[in-house]
């Protein structure tokens, strides 16, 4: 078989996100195995070139964002497949890459693998206002009405959702976990002096630091963590909430809500101890700084309302940080060590659990789980 794969991805590097990181690591390992790679992705930044060619990797960009990409990727994809007749497999990702990939199959009859990160179903009506939610649900239904040869699901939860919601037959489904970079996330790679410097630099020496990091989308449950802050601060003034937020549509509004909550609580508190009534907000640290930030925290909180195979959960436990999260989606499949899982949608559960962690009352020991990036690529190669 010719080893030339066409990836159809709505976003790819230099756009930063967890899905992009997953595919960046798959592609880099395939390149080392002498695959030729073509990547069809969006031109989200107009300053990026429409084409890039580096050794055996060819990047083609079209459309200014996800929506434009869905419409323009088919036409650009046709040109790519006519040019590179040795392409043997199309590997696409939900959501933006799915429809163009299936349409390309109908013209060129190349095998199509669709990586399915998550299924929202009726949750679209919760995360979006009614008409918008209906449109997103329609779009998701449309994706799974189209043809794909294999559905690559990143967790058992996603696999079962695909079976139940869209009745995809088992012979078309494969479950392969995403890999986690346990070498980079090894806590031994962050020295005690780096942790001490970070805590001292930001005034954390005498504080219990609760960290949230990631984007501010509704599905991440961040609103409930913000709602939990007053109860926590009223009972323990030494707890400091730290937010490291990736830029997204809700980021600015979320920052404003956090600051307003901090000011409201501060006005109700003792002005002599105002240093205790605060939060700190950072803007999406790069990976090196983020690793030190996670290692320096006392507790990571990820109160998700829905998930796929989320890096915050796997990365924080790889760094051996206590984790407070929710009992939803694939989270029970992938977490380990000192983790407490609570019901979603509950600010009071978050508040009680944060206080219990700070008091040393929670010391779980979930068995270790390893998700090797090399093993992930080996299994994906088997699909090819």
- Interval 62-83: pLDDT, tens: 998 888 999 999 999 999 999 9
Residues 317, 130: Cα–Cα separation, whole Å: 36
φ/ψ of residue 266, rounded to 5? -60, -40
Asked if 220 and 302 count as a contact pair (C-beta separation under 8 A), the reply is yes
* 201: Cβ contacts below 8 Å, ≥ 6 apart: none
CATH number at residue 31: 3.40.50.2000
Strands 57-61 and 51-54: antiparallel
Place of tokens 């001292």: 200
Q: How confident is the model at residue 148 (pLDDT cuts 50, 70, 90)?
A: very high
Using DSSP's 3-state secondary structure scheme, residue 340 falls into strand
Based on the domain organization, do 308 and 350 belong to the same domain? Answer: yes
Residues 124, 140: Cα–Cα separation, whole Å: 10
Asked if 248 and 216 count as a contact pair (C-beta separation under 8 A), the reply is yes
Q: Would the pLDDT of 31 be above 60?
A: yes
The pLDDT score that the predictor gives to residue 248 is 64
Whether 368 is in a domain gets the answer no
- Please name every residue paired with 371 in a beta bridge, in sequence order, or none if there are none: none
- Residue 44 CB: number of other CB atoms within 10 A? 18
Residues 302, 220: Cα–Cα separation, whole Å: 7
Using DSSP's 3-state secondary structure scheme, residue 280 falls into strand
Q: Is the dihedral of CA 115, 326, 251, 17 positive or negative?
A: negative
Whether 381 is in a domain gets the answer no
Whether 364 is in a domain gets the answer no
Based on the domain organization, do 167 and 252 belong to the same domain? Answer: no
Place of tokens 């919601």: 165
Based on the domain organization, do 161 and 210 belong to the same domain? Answer: no
Based on the domain organization, do 214 and 191 belong to the same domain? Answer: yes
Domain boundary among 175, 200, 228: 175
If one counts the domains in the chain, the total is: 2
Kindly state the tokens that stand for 359: 């008091």
Based on the domain organization, do 36 and 167 belong to the same domain? Answer: yes
Based on the domain organization, do 236 and 268 belong to the same domain? Answer: yes
Residues 157, 102: Cα–Cα separation, whole Å: 24
Mean pLDDT of 310-314: 73
Whether 376 is in a domain gets the answer no
Whether 269 is in a domain gets the answer yes
Asked if 245 and 283 count as a contact pair (C-beta separation under 8 A), the reply is yes
Cα 244 → chain centroid: 14
248 burial (CB, 10 Å; 0-12 / 13-18 / 19+) is middle
Q: How confident is the model at residue 275 (pLDDT cuts 50, 70, 90)?
A: very low
Based on the domain organization, do 17 and 163 belong to the same domain? Answer: yes
Based on the domain organization, do 102 and 146 belong to the same domain? Answer: yes
- Residue 200 CB: number of other CB atoms within 10 A? 11
Domain boundary among 118, 146, 175: 175
Whether 384 is in a domain gets the answer no
pLDDT higher at 276 or 86: 86
Based on the domain organization, do 296 and 321 belong to the same domain? Answer: yes
Whether 382 is in a domain gets the answer no
Structural domain range at position 129: 4-175
- Residue 218 CB: number of other CB atoms within 10 A? 14
* 222: Cβ contacts below 8 Å, ≥ 6 apart: 212, 216, 254, 303
Cα 220 → chain centroid: 10
The pLDDT score that the predictor gives to residue 262 is 57
Domain boundary among 154, 175, 196: 175
Q: What is the pLDDT of residues 196-220, one digit of tens each?
A: 988 888 888 889 999 998 877 777 8
Based on the domain organization, do 242 and 327 belong to the same domain? Answer: yes
Residues 218, 129: Cα–Cα separation, whole Å: 12
Based on the domain organization, do 246 and 168 belong to the same domain? Answer: no
Based on the domain organization, do 193 and 170 belong to the same domain? Answer: no
Kindly state the tokens that stand for 247: 């830029």
Asked if 302 and 323 count as a contact pair (C-beta separation under 8 A), the reply is yes
Whether 372 is in a domain gets the answer no
Choice among 84-88, 94-98, 337-341 with the minimum mean pLDDT: 337-341
Edge to edge, the sheet with strand 173-175 lists 51-54, 57-61, 36-41, 4-8, 89-93, 111-116, 150-153, 173-175
Q: What is the pLDDT of residues 122-134, one digit of tens each?
A: 878 777 787 888 8
């Amino acid at each position: 078989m010719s080893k030339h794969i066409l990836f159809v991805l709505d976003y790819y590097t230099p756009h930063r996100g967890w899905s992009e990181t997953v595919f960046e690591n798959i592609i880099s390992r395939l390149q080392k195995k002498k695959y030729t790679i073509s990547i069809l992705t969006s031109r989200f930044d107009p300053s990026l070139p429409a084409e890039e060619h580096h050794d055996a990797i060819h990047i083609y960009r079209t459309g200014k964002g996800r929506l434009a990409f869905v419409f323009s990727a088919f036409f650009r994809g046709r040109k790519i497949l006519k040019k590179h007749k040795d392409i043997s497999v199309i590997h696409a990702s939900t959501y933006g890459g799915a429809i163009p990939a299936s349409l390309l199959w109908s013209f060129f009859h190349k095998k199509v693998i669709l990586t399915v990160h998550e299924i929202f179903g009726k949750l679209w009506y919760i995360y979006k206002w009614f008409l918008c939610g209906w449109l997103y649900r329609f779009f998701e239904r449309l994706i799974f009405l189209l043809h794909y040869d294999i559905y690559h699901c990143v967790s058992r939860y996603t696999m079962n959702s695909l079976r139940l919601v869209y009745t995809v037959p088992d012979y078309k489904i494969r479950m392969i976990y995403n890999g986690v970079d346990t070498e980079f996330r090894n806590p031994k790679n962050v020295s005690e002096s780096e942790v001490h410097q970070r805590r001292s630099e930001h005034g954390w020496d005498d504080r219990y630091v609760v960290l949230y990091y990631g984007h501010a989308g509704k599905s991440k449950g961040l609103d409930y963590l913000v709602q939990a802050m007053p109860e926590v601060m009223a009972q323990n003034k030494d707890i400091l909430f730290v937010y490291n937020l990736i830029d997204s549509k809700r980021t600015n509004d979320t920052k404003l809500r956090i600051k307003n909550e901090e000011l409201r609580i501060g006005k109700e508190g003792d002005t002599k101890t105002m240093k205790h009534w605060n939060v700190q907000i950072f803007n999406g640290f790069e990976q090196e700084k983020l690793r030190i930030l996670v290692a320096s925290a006392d507790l990571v909180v990820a109160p998700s309302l829905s998930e796929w195979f989320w890096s915050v959960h796997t990365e924080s436990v790889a760094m051996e940080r206590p984790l407070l999260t929710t009992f939803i989606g694939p989270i029970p499949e992938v977490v380990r060590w000192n983790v407490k899982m609570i019901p979603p949608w509950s600010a009071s559960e978050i508040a009680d659990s944060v206080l219990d962690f700070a008091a040393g009352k929670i010391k779980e020991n979930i068995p270790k789980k390893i998700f090797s990036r090399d093993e992930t690529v080996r299994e994906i190669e088997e699909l090819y």
